[in-house]
Amino acid sequence: MAAIEMSFIVDVNAGKLARWLRMMGYDTLFFNDIEDGHLVDIALKERRVVLTRDTQIMRRRVATNGQLKVILATDDDPKEQLRQVIEELNLDCRLRQFTRCLECNHSLVPKNREEIADIVPPYVFSTQHQYMQCPSCLRVYWQGTHWQKMKKALDGLSQRNH
Ligand SMILES: [Zn+2]
């Protein structure tokens, strides 16, 4: 299985990881409040890798017999957790950056300036030319300073790996 086809479900105790994985374009589910059993059910049904800081999920039979792929994040720092996941699964940091909504995990759709003129702040509109929008929550993304900071962090992670 190519790494890019992987999808994830992130446990409540590792929530920040979800945003980073979405930033990389990986289909990543995250719920603020979900029981272990439910999380495991979804992971099995949708063939998602479970990312957790909770050793209890690791001890479940479906995890020990290999039916369920679980990665136990060993560090408190979300960026270290991300590095661990990237290394263990050999994920590609660059292939599909910023193609997925960080908030709700939907695939983003490219928009031209005219379409989002009423949504983005005037300063952004006058300086940015490429936009992506989430068809679900309607959030608009552009390559501003926040975007550049995240991209730099991701590029840094991938350089340390390859
Ligand atoms: Zn969204």
Distance 66 CA to ligand 1 centre (A): 33
33-79: pLDDT as tens digits: 999 999 999 999 999 999 999 899 999 999 999 999 999 999 999 99
1 confidence band (pLDDT: 50, 70, 90): very low
Q: What is the pTM of this model?
A: 0.90
SS3 for the chain is CCHHHCEEEECHHHHHHHHHHHHCCCEEEECCCCCHHHHHHHHHHCCCEEEECCHHHHHCHHHHCCCCCEEECCCCCHHHHHHHHHHHHCCCCCCCCCCECCCCCCECEEECHHHHCCCCCHHHHHHCCCEEECCCCCCEEECCHHHHHHHHHHHHHHHHHC
Distance 160 CA to ligand 1 centre (A): 30
Does the pLDDT at position 19 exceed 60?
yes
Distance 72 CA to ligand 1 centre (A): 27
